[in-house]
Amino acid sequence: MGFWKSFFATILALLVFSVLSFFLLIGLIGALSADQEVVVAENSVLRLNLDAEIREQHAENPFEGLPILGTEVASVGLIELKEAIRHAKDDPKIKGIYLTVSYPMTGFATLEEVRQSLIDFKSSGKWVVTYNDMMSEGAYYLASVADKVYMHPIGDVEWNGLAIEVSFFKRMFEKLEIKPEVFRVGDFKSAVEPFILDKMSNENRLQLTETIHSIYDHVLEQVALSRNMPKAQLKEISDKMLVRNGKQAVQFGLVDSLLYEDELTAELKNRLSLLESDDIEFIKLNKYRKSYSNYSSSKNEVAVIVGDGEIMPGKGNENTIGGDKFAAEVRKARENEKVKAIVIRINSPGGSFQASDIMWREITLAAKVKPVIASMGDYAASGGYYMAMGCDTIVAQPHTITGSIGIFSVLFDASGLMSNKLGISSEEIKTGEFGEMITVSRPLSDIEKSVWQRKTEEGYEVFTGKAAEGRNMSIEELKKVASGRVWTGAQAKERGLVDILGGLNDAIEIAASSAGVADDYRVKYYPRKQDFFSELMLQLEENAKVNALKEELGVYYPLYQQWQHVQHYQGTQARLPFELTIQ
């Protein structure tokens, strides 16, 4: 008995020691990382690797750049990236930017933001050079802005136009014996189509066709300007897929030269007036960000409140917009006398109708006392547009997916799945004619369905009424561009849903000018990011939950994941009418 007591005591002690050592190591590395002073060497080149997910904001991580955990960063913050490029423009130690980008994981509106920052950088007389083994359509769109576009001799270029892919789940639901209960308003509110159809409706096909052509038309225009080529020639190359590799890309003027890495190095050394034996002083984005401060002594603040992800009730998380949390941030900015103007930065396909309305209310209250400007990213659709329509001015990129003014409601009758596949049955006792209105264990009755349809129609009237008021349009005019129809930013401007085509910087400048502080202001971003260690604890907790579910559900875990995603659609939604991938 004494042996086993000693054995388990030793095991416990080792476990506690390991856990404490782990967190001590994290703390030590974090402290060292935070205190490290970065000095930029003379004649440096800012190195940007944008083969990453580009999100609105960067999640701080003290492990970045440490050899024990790898040197590559999985994600890049758009705001921080733009700030770094802006600082590099005026930094005498930075002579140019070396850009690598093959498959950026983001939308064209975000690429447009980065592209404009690079164009501004070049206005200083400094250069941008890009070199890649291969380039997707989005990568080339970004790379084309460089002074010189170089490729590996055995490289590939994708320049054959854009495509939109929409997935449909009707047959999967049939196999699982799940029946969607759908209630919607408007011909174009097709977010529910993947649940009830196995191909696109004519209305959805129309809006997607016009959307993708609008986006690509702008892409062609901008590449034509950057490469000094006729737009028609670029379109012909794309339509006929005349370019598939590096050699053809040089032949048709998309790429300047094919170089091996040693030849590229020699070219860069020549630009920097270095000897063959000299090393190039590269500095990466995350290290460069630590070399400067954004501190400003101005007492006038422009608050940029960032909403990135699906709209959900409550607090949300780093991947979603929590309606209550976002509304609280707007309220604090409204009540803060130092905040002279507010920019609502939106990158969202929409989500919860009620959460969208909660945020709209706070935005309209703020707009009564100080300028509030909306800045749209890749998406500001449905619930995302709901947030914007309470602002004084709406700024969008030509590529932005917006509009989708409409709502839908969907519930899922999973009684067949539960009874026939899982062996679960249920009974409901109720006091009146109506039972539980959100349920998966039984189909809705006809009278319950009529209630949901009326509720959806009433929500649509609320949405369109507030949109018409916010845009100073009659309800009849507004409904002509509503019905859940999706527009690009360029199309939305033509129809009065957007005021100005531009990026985040434009929205900030408009906000400062409207507040009368254009010559003296500082920019602060909200909500403030949680510290890394709090995020780590949450992630560890989430991982523990996931592992427990995997252990419990076994082969059924993938079905559980699908169901969790579907549940986001439960109830009344103001959401983009499809989950699309533009390639």
When pLDDT is averaged across residues 354-359 and rounded to a whole number, the result is: 95
Average pLDDT of span 499-504: 97
- Mean pLDDT of the chain, nearest integer: 86
Say what percent of the chain tops pLDDT 90: 60
* Total domains in the fold of the chain: 2
C-alpha–C-alpha distance, residues 366 and 355, integer Å: 17
266 and 375 part of one domain: no
Top-confidence range, 73-87, 279-293, 569-583: 279-293
Mean pLDDT of all residues in 116-129: 98
* HSE of 49, CA atoms in CB hemisphere, 13 A: 13
Q: Which of 54-68, 162-176, 252-266 has the lowest mean pLDDT?
A: 54-68
Catalytic residue (one of 356, 382, 409, 514): 382
- The answer to whether 153 and 258 are in contact (CB under 8 A) is yes
User: Are 378 and 485 in a shared domain?
Assistant: yes
pLDDT in tens, 431-470: 777 767 777 788 888 888 898 889 989 999 999 999 999 9
Number of other residues whose CB lies within 10 A of the CB of residue 84: 25
At residue 393, the 3 state secondary structure works out as strand
pTM (predicted TM-score): 0.84
Rg of the chain (C-alpha set): 27
- Residue 66 confidence (pLDDT): 47
Of 269, 291, 288, the closest CA to residue 47 belongs to: 288
State which of 266, 291, 316 marks the end of a domain.
291
Torsion of CA 285, 290, 295, 301, to 10 degrees: 40
pLDDT at 69 over 70: no
Q: Is residue 258 domain-shared with residue 344, that is, in the same domain?
A: no
- AA letter at 448: E
Q: Output the pLDDT for position 560.
A: 55
Alpha carbon separation from 345 to 75, 379, 503, 506 (Å, rounded): 19, 11, 10, 12
Q: What is the three-state SS of 438-459?
A: CCCCCCCCHHHHHHHHHHHHHH
- Nearest Cα to 312, choosing from 267, 344, 359? 359
* CATH number where 429 lies: 3.90.226.10
Tens digit of pLDDT for each residue in 152-186?
999 999 999 998 888 888 898 888 888 988 888 76
- Which among 400, 398, 399, 315 is positioned nearest to 359, based on CA atoms? 315
Q: Are residues 338 and 421 both part of a single domain?
A: yes
d(CA 117, CA 113): 6
Task: Please compute the mean of the pLDDT values over residues 474-498 and round it to a whole number.
Answer: 94
Q: Are residues 130 and 264 in the same domain?
A: yes
User: What is the C-alpha separation between 395 and 373, in angstroms, rounded?
Assistant: 8
267 and 346 both lie in a single domain: no
Token pair belonging to 274: 């270095």
Instruction: Report CA 192 to chain centroid distance, whole Å.
Output: 22
Q: Is 185 inside any structural domain?
A: no
The DSSP result for 298-346, as a single string, is -S-EEEEEEEESEEESTT--TTEEEHHHHHHHHHHHHH-TTEEEEEEEE
Smallest Cα–Cα separation from 104: which of 138, 64, 140? 138
Contact 352, 322 (CB under 8 A): no
Does residue 59 form part of some domain? yes
- Looking at 24-38, 109-123, 236-250, 288-302, which range is the least confident one? 24-38
What mean pLDDT comes out for the span 570-576? 59
Query: Any residues with CB less than 8 A from the CB of 518 and at least 6 apart, and which?
Result: 509, 512
Chosen domain end from 232, 267, 291: 291
pLDDT of residue 318: 81
State the Cα–Cα distance between residues 384 and 488, nearest whole angstrom.
13
b (16+ CB within 10 A) / e for 272-299: eebeeeeeebebbbbbbbebeeeeeeee
| Same-domain check for residues 263 and 380 | no
Residue 442 lies in a domain: yes
- Cα–Cα nearest to 325, from 520, 528, 165, 135: 528
**Phi, psi angles (nearest 5°) of residue 8:** -65, -35
Predicted pLDDT of residue 524:
96
State residue 196's pLDDT score: 87
Give the pair of three-digit tokens for residue 309. 């992800």
- Measured from the Cβ of residue 118, the count of other Cβ atoms closer than 10 Å reads 22
* Catalytic residue status for 370: no
| CB 434, CB 537: distance < 8 Å | no
Which DSSP helix (H) or strand (E) runs through 153? strand 148-157
- Pick the closest to residue 265 from 254, 257, 276 (CA basis): 276
- Tell which of 291, 319, 348 closes a domain: 291
**Per the structure block, which two tokens stand in for 77?**
């913050």
Is 382 part of the annotated catalytic residue set?
A: yes
Do 269 and 309 reside in the same domain of the chain? no
194: confidence class by pLDDT, cuts 50, 70, 90: confident
Same domain as 358, residue 256: no
In a domain, 3, yes or no: no
Tell me the pLDDT tens digit for each residue of 381-419. 999 999 999 999 999 999 999 999 988 888 888 888 888
Query: Do 177 and 421 contact (CB within 8 A), yes or no?
Result: yes
pLDDT at residue number 399: 93
Q: Give the tens place of pLDDT for each residue, 296-353.
A: 889 999 999 999 999 999 988 888 999 999 999 999 999 999 999 999 999 999 989 9
Cβ(79)–Cβ(289) below 8 Å: no
Same domain? 253 vs 353 = no
Q: What is the pLDDT of residue 67?
A: 45
Residue 249 domain-assigned? yes
Claim to verify: residue 311 and residue 264 sit in the same structural domain: no
Q: 462: domain range? A: 301-527+548-574
**What are 70's two structure tokens?**
């790898």
Q: What are phi and psi of 22, to 5 degrees?
A: -60, -50
Least confident of 68-72, 78-82, 99-103, 415-419: 68-72
**552 pLDDT above the threshold of 90:** no
In a domain, 362, yes or no: yes
Q: Is 216 part of any domain?
A: no
pLDDT for 283: 96
Using an 8 Å Cβ cutoff, are 311 and 350 in contact? yes
82 sits in which H/E element: helix 78-90
* Whether residue 273 is found in the same domain as residue 367: no
What pLDDT score does 229 carry?
96
Q: Which residue shows structure tokens 């509503």?
A: 482
47 occurs within a structural domain? yes
Catalytic one of 189, 340, 466, 479: 189
Residues with Cβ within 8 Å of residue 559, at least 6 apart in sequence: 176
| CB 189 within 8 Å of CB 457 | no
